[in-house]
Chains A and B, each alone.
Chain A
Amino acid sequence: MTGVTGMTQVASAGGTSDAVPSLWTIAAAGDKLQAPSIEYGKLSPVLIVLGAAAVGVLIDAFAPRKARYSAQLFVALAGLAAAFAAVIGLAASGAGTTKAQIAGMGALAVDGPTLFLQGTLLLVGIVGVFTFAERRLEPAGRGGRVDSFAAQPAAVPGGEGEQQAVKAGWTTTEVFPLLLFAVGGMLLFPAANDLLTLFIALEVFSLPLYLLCALARRRRLLSQEAAVKYFLLGAFSSAFLLFGTALLYGYAGTVNYSAIARVISGADAVSDPVLADTTGNDALLLIGGALVVMGLLFKVGAVPFHMWTPDVYQGAPTPVTGFMAAATKVAAFGALLRLLYVVLPGLRWDWRPVMWGVAILTMLGGAIVAITQTDIKRLLAYSSIAHAGFLLAGVIATSEDGISSVLFYLAAYSFVTLGAFAVVTLVRDAGGEATHLSKWAGLGRRSPLLAAVFAVFLLAFAGIPLTSGFAGKFAVFKAAAEGGAGALVVVGVIASAIAAFFYLRVIVLMFFSEPQADGPSVAVPSVMTTSAIALGVVVTVVLGVAPQYFLDLAGQAGVFVR
């Protein structure tokens, strides 16, 4: 017992404040409370998106039902485009390279990786809004055309309330503000520069995603089940992340990234020598670091924390699946990179072997289990797990090339994913989307263009040359090999070969089998889904044929600010 036992003793101790923690006492004179200084310019992308989300909530509360769709669409697109312009402006002013700095009183780091990932996320968000707003696929109700979200999410599936809502042609326009809130959290996630911001950003983007998963118009039981699974497992993993945060705080006495790194490297002494056997203890550091990394690996969907991925990807409405698959991966890998490269570089001899194991399990596990899948959405889910493994190989490189190759891979992968899931929304039969693989047989004969586009995406997933997938995989594996992870690259190439098998199997199925008599038809979408798919094709081809400009861009962005 060295300290104090209660408030009264502190008060009576009065002037002898040296022995007393300065929790309840302040120095007598001088110190004025300093107002925090916030760099609004540097934070403008996040602020614009969250502001647009708040406006969207107000529209849904006050605007008449008929006006909501167009107003929400306008606000969402305008907000995301303005935020993207702000990111470009920041990058042009050198905020990503020479003027990288810590903003918001140490809460956020605005540097190259942050701006690159924020730009990618905003483009993903814009394409996501396009697929969310598609209204040509479902048969029109009495109240006009409807999208792929539930008429009345609160109504019991198959119940009277649902029938009335469907008949009236209601739609859930709340999806647009939910998407904007999710994008806002994702913009914060890779920028987070202390553990508190990391946790808050994680929750800000996860909670809207849980809700979006539950809002499918068709197959609502599946959709609700996916939401429950995603929510319970997501909350479980974020509790682990939070406990890890608490232990790291106990170790270092601070939640700031660079301050923790300094304590780990021994540059700063751990608080009080009296506390040395309890705090500043390596067990706290190792367990805390492991728990935080675990929480992030869950969001990334790495084996063995991948169990939620196939069910959630299958059950969620397909536009949400596409958005979630692309954007969550971008945001979570950004946060994982920053955590491992800024906070825990002093521990890399401890975390690298673990990440080796996780990367190998993820690559092989995702690729092998995907072979047995019969549902196209589940297949793409396992393929996303395998891709998380390839990305982890770049993370393990622990070099500047490692950072920039992961950034490039994320940008390439996210547009392929968005495009592929947008194609899935178009192949439909009487029950909605026809996601079973047997229904896709002979699609190339019925609808050659759509099948060819989907084949391009599958080739990009497989990493065939002249697609963005090849350029990304090459960059990641090159960085990993140079970072001393040659064996991992060998495993990665084997996993790619296994993965290529099931991608090619789908292509063979589409082009070389007889179409079924009761096969699905291909819906004709509006310009929005068309542009989402077209953008996916363009990015896939451009990043595959001429990747150098974008590799340079990612290369310039490949340094974290401390």
Chain B
Amino acid sequence: MSPINYVYLAALLFTIGAAGVLIRRNAIVVFMCIELMLNAANLTLVAFSRMHGNLDGQIMAFFVMVVAAAEVVVGLAIIVMLYRARHSASVDDASLMKL
């Protein structure tokens, strides 16, 4: 199988993630969809790395994993804080500043 198929798969996963961010209402699920988008980018990087025959893409993938882990730490802290104050993690309920 040609590695380009992994790029197509990654584009599909990225689109699913982006659609999920826009459609889903629970902050945790929205966040999971963002993680899906990051992992789709990782898959693209690794597939292209294989096609080009250099290691840049694989190294980037490692960095992205670390960044995603750091983002989880910060993101879950913020979302849990919101949940404890309101007993709801819905992004629709967070509308105090709506005009």
Q: A224-B78, A225-B96, A228-B91 are in contact. Are A275 and B51 (CB under 8 A)?
A: yes
Q: B residues within 8 Å of A by Cβ?
A: 2, 4, 7, 10, 14, 17-18, 21, 27, 30-31, 34, 37-38, 40-42, 44-45, 47-57, 59-60, 63-64, 67, 70-71, 74-75, 77-79, 81-82, 84-86, 91, 94-97
Q: Which residues of A contact B84 (CB under 8 A)?
A: 156
Any chain B CB within 8 A of the CB of A279?
yes
CB atoms of A153 and B34 under 8 A apart: no
Most buried by A among B54, B55, B79, B81: B81
CA distance A227 to B77 in the complex (A): 10
9 sampled A-B residue pairs with Cβ under 8 A: A211-B78, A231-B79, A239-B34, A239-B41, A242-B37, A245-B41, A250-B7, A279-B52, A311-B97
Interface size class of A (residues with CB under 8 A): 35 or more
- Smallest beta-carbon distance A455→chain B, Å: 26
CB atoms of B85 and A224 under 8 A apart: yes
Q: A residues within 8 Å of B by Cβ?
A: 1, 21-23, 153-154, 156-157, 195-196, 199-200, 203, 207, 210-211, 214, 220-222, 224-229, 231-232, 235-236, 239-240, 242-243, 245-247, 249-250, 253-255, 271-272, 275, 278-279, 310-311, 314-315
CA distance A200 to B67 in the complex (A): 7
CB atoms of A250 and B82 under 8 A apart: no
Cross-chain pair count, CB within 8 angstroms: 148
Q: A203-B71, A315-B97 are in contact. Are A253 and B54 (CB under 8 A)?
A: yes
Q: A225-B94, A231-B74, A254-B56 are in contact. Are A278 and B51 (CB under 8 A)?
A: yes
CB atoms of B74 and A211 under 8 A apart: yes
Q: A236-B34, A243-B14, A278-B4 are in contact. Are A228 and B85 (CB under 8 A)?
A: no
CB atoms of A246 and B44 under 8 A apart: yes
CB atoms of B53 and A239 under 8 A apart: no
* B interface secondary structure, majority: helix
Q: A228-B79, A249-B48 are in contact. Are A220 and B34 (CB under 8 A)?
A: no
CB atoms of A22 and B60 under 8 A apart: no
CA distance A113 to B48 in the complex (A): 32
CB atoms of B78 and A255 under 8 A apart: no
- Smallest beta-carbon distance B18→chain A, Å: 8
Q: Which residues of A contact B14 (CB under 8 A)?
A: 239, 243
Partner among A203, A242, A315 whose Cβ is within 8 Å of the Cβ of B70: A203
- Smallest beta-carbon distance B70→chain A, Å: 6
- Besides the known contacts A195-B60, A222-B97, 13 further A-B residue pairs in the complex with CB atoms under 8 A apart: A23-B50, A231-B75, A232-B30, A232-B91, A235-B31, A239-B38, A240-B18, A242-B64, A243-B37, A249-B45, A249-B56, A250-B51, A253-B52
